[in-house]
Homo-oligomer: A and B are copies of this chain.
Amino acid sequence: MPQGQPDYVPDDGLTTRQRRHRPLVMVHTGPGKGKSTAAFGLATRAWAQGWSIGVFQFVKSAKWRIGEERALRTLAESGEGGTVSWNKMGEGWSWIRHRRATEDHAADAAEGWEQIKRDLAAETHRLYVLDEFTYPMKWGWVDVEDVVATLAQRPGTQHVVITGRDADPRLVDAADLVTEMSKVRHPMDVGQKGQRGIEW
């Protein structure tokens, strides 16, 4: 946990206050658990600050994150904090009226990224959770250089957290905060499958 004392103060012409409120790009990567869980924890904290939150899930899955989704929707509906826009690639992005008959994950991912670009340009949200977004980059569905350039040029104060294994080195270089989650021990190693409430 940061103790409030930076290692050094950069000669960047910014005041401490300006630097403090600098919008961040955060990456949670590595083979261990907690990458997405920590990102949704950040979203919870952002809700408490009254922020607008945009969640974009880039891997199709029926049961993963349903707990977080239900919790964030319940929080948003309480009217006491921020708002949440939850978008899933696997179920057809919410802003697209009709689902295509054929499943084209590459096109779906590209469409998701285009919407994020529009939202960033319009300063729609204060926090973006791009869950498992490293994979469409890894698989070549979304151009890493475009992501890095777009993030570098985003206006205003918009925080972005990206989760997933194997984050591209160019993304890691562009990020302000990178956390690597490593697996020290996991019950899967001793023959246990995932369980409800813990894994999803």
**Contacts from A to B (Cβ < 8 Å):** 1-2, 4, 6-10, 12, 16, 19-22, 24, 27-30, 32-38, 40-42, 44-49, 51, 64, 66-68, 70-71, 74-75, 78, 80-81, 126-127, 159, 172, 175-200
Question: Hey, which chain B residues are within 8 Å of A2, CB to CB?
Answer: 186, 188, 193-194, 199
A61 to chain B, nearest CB (A): 9
- Nearest first, the 9 closest Cβ-Cβ pairs linking A and B are A45-B67, A48-B67, A37-B41, A34-B38, A178-B184, A49-B197, A41-B41, A6-B191, A38-B38
Copies of chain A in the complex: 2
**Other-chain contact of A74, B4, B24, B78 (Cβ < 8 Å):** B78
Whether A192 touches B6, Cβ cut-off 8 Å, given contacts A80-B74, A178-B185, is: yes
